[in-house]
């Protein structure tokens, strides 16, 4: 139960931080979504640090890693997992995971967008 509370509190903090970052950095028409890029890069840095330097406390890692950083960004988790596969010598699996994540994400965003548009058009 303590882990659920830690993830919940961390998630709330991460979500608020992400929202605040968006308020500061979001600039329509900037080309690159700087707020998302900053969140992803910051999350990668923080999760990398967490995995390397934080004590192995499962409760602390759950609250900060899964909760706070997880709600701040999921790209950091993806990056750590890809690096871990590479460090274990499973480069082929790392590349497959990278390609599946990237192209699968693009495909699913496209699919979700089409489904949402179709539903909206059916309502009218």
Can you say which residues are annotated as belonging to the binding site for Na(+)?
70, 73
Rounded Cα distance between 124 and 122, Å, is 6
Could you tell me which residues are annotated as the binding site? 70, 73
Other CB atoms within 10 Å distance of the CB of residue 23? 9
Instruction: Identify the residue whose tokens are 């409760």.
Output: 59
The tokens for 10 are: 């961390």
The tokens for 91 are: 């480069």
């Amino acid at each position: 139960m303590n882990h659920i509370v830690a993830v919940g509190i961390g998630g709330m903090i991460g979500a608020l931080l992400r929202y605040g970052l968006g308020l500061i950095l979001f600039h329509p028409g900037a080309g690159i979504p700087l707020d998302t890029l900053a969140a992803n890069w910051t999350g990668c840095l923080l999760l990398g640090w967490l995995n390397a330097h934080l004590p192995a406390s499962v409760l602390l890692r759950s609250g900060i890693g899964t909760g706070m950083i997880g709600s701040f960004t999921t790209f950091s988790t993806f990056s750590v997992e890809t690096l871990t596969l590479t460090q274990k010598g499973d480069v082929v699996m790392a590349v497959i995971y990278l390609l599946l994540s990237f192209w699968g994400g693009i495909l699913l965003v496209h699919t979700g967008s089409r489904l949402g548009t179709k539903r909206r058009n059916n309502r009218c």
